[in-house]
Chain A
Amino acid sequence: MTFFNESLFIFTILLDYNLIQDKKGQLYLNMNQHKILGPVIFVILILLASFSYAEAPATPTPATLVLNDFKVFDTPDESTGSISLSWEAVSGENDSLSYVVYVDKDANGKFDCEFCRFPATENWKKDKKWPFWVSGTKEGYHYLEVPILNVFPPPTQPELDSKQNELATIKSKIRNTKKNYKNLMEQKELLQKELDELKKAKEPDFKTIQEKEKALGNNSKKLENIINDPDAKKIVDGIPVPELTAKMRNLAKEVGALEAKVDQEKAGIQDRVYYFKVGTFENDKLTALTAATSGQAKGNWFFWAHLNNFVLAVVFSILVLWFIRHAKKNQNLFLRRINGLDAVEEAVGRATEMGRPVFYQTGIGGMSDISTICATVILGKIAEKVALYDTQIKVPHRDPIVMTVCQEIVKEAYTKVGRPDAYKEDCNFYVTSDQFAYTATVNGMMMRDKPAANFFMGYYMAEALLLSEAGSSTGAIQIAGTDSTDQLPFFITTCDYTLIGEEFYAASAYLSREPILVGTLKAQDVGKFFILAALVIGTIFATIRMPEILDLIKDFS
């Protein structure tokens, strides 16, 4: 302003006055003499004044962008501090248009933190695997997840990373230096020896000598590095390095403290409101920008995408419990014949007649496998029959925990039928945990003992055919039950009876006819009916292109 004022002042003077020197040499102002000069000077002054206030051509302020249904919300079904943005695609989106997302902690902030920029043809909500009750409308919506910790990392993180690296280096140094030094010295001796021998040879192989010399050179460099490092040298010379271990301990403490600080900072970073602006870029120019919209990340306590799974699990559980109650009242629920289980009596009877043992195997699974639990249940029923008929039973095991459980089951079975005296502790024995060593052992036993009946119950892998074919060669009656679909074909071809999948799980109910167990079977049947109905209805809905309904029966892991 000062220059302008002065200019105006000078102009005013010059317009109205001019300096005239009179005859006496005194200067005085003569007004109104230079009427043309005045305006010209005025324009020049104005121009000068305007240049002094000249700024760069003003960047056009981006227009306010109004995105339809623009939402900022906590990302569902996660707990890692992520905020999501979604908005309806604007009409006329093409390759030349890009979106940009800015983040700030303050609604009135500068928003100079650019999270990302992407072409308008990318980042669609429909690509996100969410059911409709979580995502809402998917078609035609852009979607972006902003992991807040990536945008605003804890300030102490770099220091923590550096300290952790330092600690790892020291630990490695303490652990490996002596070993490395020893190896390098041995290598050096060996190389030197080889080199000397090569040089002494009648026709020295110069190429090999060169290679050995190069290797020796590298070796020497590595040794030098160790010697030149004062800490490493101390380790190598056998001098105790209390400074190094003390340094390591102090560093470990520092790292611990920094980790706690970083965790605190992370919690602070996640637990606040952030503001987002979405802009459009065309031809590398920011053309429009939304107003700031806020959102906050919150840890979720329920995986909403698994809601259908949860509801089905609860409904099925209620069904099971209801049918158990129903079975207790109505003891005559129908169960179809399972030939394999009807033949158990026949198999044990055959063994008794022939005076040969019954072999029972519980598979290769551990006690945490459902199939092994089913196998132990069936073992209990068979052990009762074996105890009644006074037949010998042998149960070789691959898992010691399963062995201890089966020992108790068989013992109790003998006690239940009033034959505790006939029980032999050795009927359940551990063989080995190795798959094929177990198979070889049991095959050998089958060849020598020639059992009259073999039961293969549980989970099997490659040994299924080995065991069943070996058993078949001895002429035993064989009953198998497994949930391993890979091995079913082998059991079917080599065994007399095979319990397929669910029949195996139903065995305990079938053999005992206990209302609780039969009720559970009924609930399973209802569950299967529901699955069949879902298959048919789902096919119809998929055919008539209403895939959203299929979300109800989909897995959204």
Chain B
Amino acid sequence: MSSFIQKFTGMDRRIIYVLISLAVIIPLLLPLNLPVGVTSEVKAVYDTIDNLPERSVLFLAMDFDPASRPELYPMAEAILHHAFRKNLRVIGMTFWVTGTGLGEQVMVDVAKEYGKEYGKDYLYLGWKAGDFALVIGMGEKGFAATYPQDHYGRDTANMPVLDNVKTLKDIGYLVELAAGSTIGTWYYYGKQKYKFKMGGGCTGVMAASWYNLMKIDWINGFLGGLRGAAEYEMLINRKAVAVRGMDPQSVAHMLIITLIVFSNIVYFATGANKKIGAGK
């Protein structure tokens, strides 16, 4: 028994890695189809987009790269589906040069499904060096002045998608999908000055700190990690990648919980808690 306990508490990491791999692979092959509850912060983003008048502009800042694609790409997809269903105009861009292709891909793929026309229903500005200077430019001088050409090199000056929408002050809603700290740039140089509504999406790791941003009114809601994307897919009645991803997430979570609980039971059962003093 004591050798088992020793082996268990000192388990080789690689065994845990194998267990996690199985916990992720098996549910992908054998879906569980569990329902996903919706939280208020995701609902807030959904409601805001749902209540936008037809043909108003949704600005989607896709500030992520391939590393955070698994969490943020499904969010972008779900939001675009919702926006195109509501017949909104969408303007997309990114501050991350490595995410340029991802932004383009998601916009083009989703727009194709709804028969949306580039330049009339949606516009992709791509990446441009400038960070906050771009935000200020879009707020003061306007989209066409800051981005005279879009991602494809086409002139933005007379595009129908920008009819009656000159600057950031004219947009209906801005959603910032962030894998980094660009939310600060959008708030300090954007929302604070130009007073548009803003929502967000972030990786699961960052979600804990984004509740504070809601409290201080930077954003009215956000999607946290793959779970947030799954909740949004439930709201728009389109179960896709994110909802499917909840199965492996569930099993992996349960596995980790089981391992932790069991290790603590063993820890207390062996009296190790009394032998070791105040730990670090």
Binding site for B on A (CB under 8 A): 165, 168-169, 171-172, 176, 435-436, 461-462, 473, 485-487, 496-497, 557
Q: Which residues of B contact A436 (CB under 8 A)?
A: 67
Please list 25 pairs of residues, one from A and one from B, whose beta carbons are closer than 8 Å in the complex, sorted by A's number. Answer: A165-B157, A165-B158, A168-B155, A168-B157, A169-B157, A171-B155, A172-B157, A176-B153, A176-B154, A435-B67, A436-B67, A461-B180, A462-B67, A462-B68, A462-B203, A485-B208, A485-B209, A486-B205, A486-B206, A486-B208, A486-B209, A487-B205, A496-B280, A497-B280, A557-B192
Residues of A within 8 A of B280 (CB): 496-497
B153 to chain A minimum Cβ distance, whole angstroms, is 8
Whether B13 is near chain A, meaning CB under 8 Å from some CB there, is yes
Q: Using a CB-CB cutoff of 8 Å, which residues 33-81 of chain B contact chain A?
A: 67-68
- Shortest Cβ-Cβ A-B pairs, 4 listed: A172-B155, A168-B157, A557-B192, A486-B206
Closest to A469 in B: B13
Interface residues of B (CB under 8 A from A): 13, 67-68, 148, 153-155, 157-158, 180, 192, 203, 205-206, 208-209, 280
A462 and B203 alpha carbons, distance in the complex (Å) = 10
Contact residues in A for B203 (Cβ distance below 8 Å): 462
A436 — nearest CB in chain B belongs to which residue?
B67
Residues of A within 8 A of B153 (CB): 176
In whole angstroms, how far apart are the Cα atoms of A143 and B79 in the complex? Answer: 37
CA distance A172 to B153 in the complex (A): 10
CB-CB < 8 A to A461: which residues of B?
180
Considering the chains assembled together, what is the distance between the CA atoms of A497 and B192 in angstroms? Answer: 38
List, in ascending order, chain B residues with CB within 8 A of A172's CB: 155, 157
- State how many angstroms separate the Cβ of B277 from the closest Cβ of chain A: 14
B205 contacts which of A165, A462, A497 (Cβ < 8 Å)? A462
Q: Which residues of B contact A486 (CB under 8 A)?
A: 205-206, 208-209
Q: How far is the CA of A485 from the CA of B210 in the complex (A)?
A: 11
Chain A residues within an 8 Å CB radius of B208: 485-486
Report the separation of the CA atoms of residues A436 and B208 in the bound assembly, to the nearest whole angstrom: 22
A176-B155, A496-B280, A557-B192 known; 4 other A-B pairs, CB under 8 Å?
A: A168-B157, A171-B155, A461-B180, A485-B209
Q: Nearest chain A CB to B219's CB is how many angstroms away?
A: 15
Which partner residue on chain A sits nearest B192 by CB separation?
A557
A379 CA to B158 CA, complexed, in Å: 54
Q: For residue B17, give the distance in angstroms from its CB to the closest CB of chain A.
A: 11
- Minimum C-beta distance from B71 to chain A (A): 11
Inter-chain CA distance A445–B14, complex, in Å, is: 20
Shortest CB distance A363–B (Å): 13
B159–chain A nearest beta-carbon distance, Å: 11
Chain B nearest CB, measured from A440 CB (Å): 12
Which single residue of chain B is at the shortest CB-CB distance from A364? B180
Give complex CA distance A168, B155 in Å: 9
Contacts of B206 in A (CB 8 A): 486
Complex interface: chain A residues within 8 A of B180 (CB): 461
Q: Complex formed: what's the CA distance from A462 to B157 in Å?
A: 39
Considering the chains assembled together, what is the distance between the CA atoms of A268 and B68 in angstroms? Answer: 52
Residue of A nearest to B65 (CB): A435
A168, B154: Cα distance in complex, Å: 12
Q: Which residues of A contact B205 (CB under 8 A)?
A: 462, 486-487
A165 to B159, CA, bound (A): 12
- Residues of B near A169 (CB, < 8 A) are 157-158
Determine the residue in chain B with the shortest Cβ distance to A465. Answer: B205
| CB closest residue in chain A, given B157 | A168
Query: Which single residue of chain B is at the shortest CB-CB distance from A487?
Result: B205
Q: Which residues of chain A come closer than 8 Å to B158, judged between CB atoms? A: 165, 168-169
The CA of A49 and the CA of B13, in the complex, are separated in Å by 112
Chain A residues with CB under 8 Å of B154's CB are: 176
Distance from B146 Cβ to chain A, minimum over Cβ atoms (Å): 14
In the complex, A78→B125 CA distance in Å? 30
Alpha-carbon gap, A247 to B280, bound state (A):
76
Cα-based distance from A44 to B148 in the complex (angstroms): 77
The residues of B that contact A171 with a CB separation of less than 8 Å are 155
With both chains docked as a complex, state the minimum distance between the C-beta of B42 and any C-beta of chain A, in angstroms: 20
- A352 and B192 alpha carbons, distance in the complex (Å): 52
Residues of chain B within 8 A of A497, CB atoms compared:
280
A485 to B158, CA, bound (A): 45
Would you give the shortest CB distance from A60 to chain B, in whole angstroms?
Answer: 40
Nearest-neighbour CB distance to chain A for B126, whole angstroms, equals: 17
Distance in Å: Cβ of A199 to nearest Cβ of chain B: 28
Smallest CB separation, A158 vs chain B (Å):
15
Residues of B within 8 A of A462 (CB): 67-68, 203, 205
Distance between Cα atoms of A485 and B13 in the complex (Å)? 26
Q: Say how far A453's CB is from chain B's closest CB, in angstroms.
A: 15
Chain B residues in 8 Å Cβ range of A473: 13
Q: Please measure, in the bound complex, the distance between the C-alpha atom of A496 and the C-alpha atom of B280, giving whole angstroms.
A: 7
Q: Which residue of A lies closest to B148 (CB)?
A: A168
A172 to B156, CA, bound (A): 10
Closest Cβ of chain A to B116, distance in Å, is: 18
Task: State A436–B157 Cα separation when bound (angstroms).
Answer: 38
**From A434, which residue of chain B is reached at the shortest CB distance?**
B98
